[in-house]
């Protein structure tokens, strides 16, 4: 299974992605996690990404694409993967298609869309900011991230719908309930 998780920041992609890893036995590739690790490690990539991330903006495509290609070329991703945070737009989806072909891997099977209302997203992320002390989870930054998602990433739904690959799941409810909805939708 090769899937892309789609949904606004705070929609539950990370949490559900981890549950899907355990269920399907394939790796989750999260560009957000990889970028945060690079920032924490103080790498050149991390320093470039930090200012952009702190402002609630998207990190440059070439950096993100490099991270993803490096990861998809690893052995454990050959039998399948769960992408979280990539592709972010239609151009990146086309790059992903070409990348998979170049790596000799099959195309994406499904795009799982976790549908959550904007106000619920804001509530979740403000709560997460308090619990985890995340500097990128301030209300103005959250609203900017949602606006960017709606403008740039939401059109991916049309891209994958045209390929009959979109599975939309209600992302509100208990974690296990949402997970069960995803598994049923993928079956």
* CA 29/CA 83 separation, integer angstroms: 5
Residue 135 pLDDT: 67
| Portion of the chain with pLDDT greater than 70, in percent | 98
Active site residue 88: yes
Specify the 3-state DSSP secondary structure of 122: helix
CA–CA separation, 174 vs 186, rounded Å?
19
Instruction: Kindly name the residue from 47, 102, 134, 161 that is annotated as catalytic.
Output: 134
Partners of residue 179 on adjacent β-strands:
none
Q: What is the dihedral of CA 127, 8, 29, 46, to 10 degrees?
A: -70
78 is catalytic: no
Q: How many structural domains is the chain composed of? A: 1
Q: pLDDT per residue over 101-118, tens digit each?
A: 999 999 999 999 999 999
Provide the 10 A C-beta neighbour count for residue 174.
8
Q: Residue 128 — very low, low, confident or very high, per pLDDT cuts 50/70/90?
A: confident
**Annotation: binding site for ATP:** 10-15, 128, 173
pLDDT tier at 160, thresholds 50, 70, 90: very high
Does the active-site annotation cover 134? Answer: yes
Q: How far apart are CA 30 and CA 45, in angstroms?
A: 15
Binding-site residues sit at 10-15, 31, 36, 57-59, 85-88, 92, 128, 134, 145, 173
Catalytic residue (one of 88, 110, 124, 181): 88
Q: Which domain holds residue 116?
A: 2-186
User: Residue 27 is part of a domain; what is its CATH number?
Assistant: 3.40.50.300
181 band by pLDDT with thresholds 50, 70 and 90: very high
pLDDT at 64: 83
Residue tagged active-site, from 2, 13, 50, 71: 13
The structure's pTM equals 0.83
What is the 8-class DSSP label of residue 150?
A: I
The catalytic position among 128, 138, 143, 165 is 128
pLDDT 10s digits, 31-86: 877 778 778 888 777 788 888 878 777 788 887 887 788 788 889 999 999 999 89
């Amino acid at each position: 299974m090769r899937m892309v998780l789609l949904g606004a920041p705070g929609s539950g992609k990370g949490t559900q992605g981890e549950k899907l890893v355990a269920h399907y036995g394939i790796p989750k590739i999260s560009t957000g996690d990889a970028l945060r690790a690079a920032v924490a490690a103080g790498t050149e990539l991390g320093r470039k990404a930090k200012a952009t991330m702190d402002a609630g903006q998207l990190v440059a495509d070439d950096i993100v694409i490099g991270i993803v290609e490096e990861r998809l070329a690893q052995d454990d991703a050959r039998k399948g993967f769960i992408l979280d945070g990539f592709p972010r737009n239609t151009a990146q989806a086309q790059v992903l298609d070409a990348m998979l072909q170049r790596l000799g891997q099959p195309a994406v099977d499904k795009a799982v869309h976790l549908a959550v209302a904007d106000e619920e997203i804001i509530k979740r992320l403000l709560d997460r900011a308090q619990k985890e002390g995340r500097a990128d989870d301030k209300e103005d930054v959250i609203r900017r991230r949602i606006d960017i998602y709606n403008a740039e990433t939401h059109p991916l739904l049309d891209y994958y719908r045209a390929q009959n690959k979109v599975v939309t799941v209600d992302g509100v409810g208990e974690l296990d309930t949402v997970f069960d909805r995803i598994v049923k939708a993928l079956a």
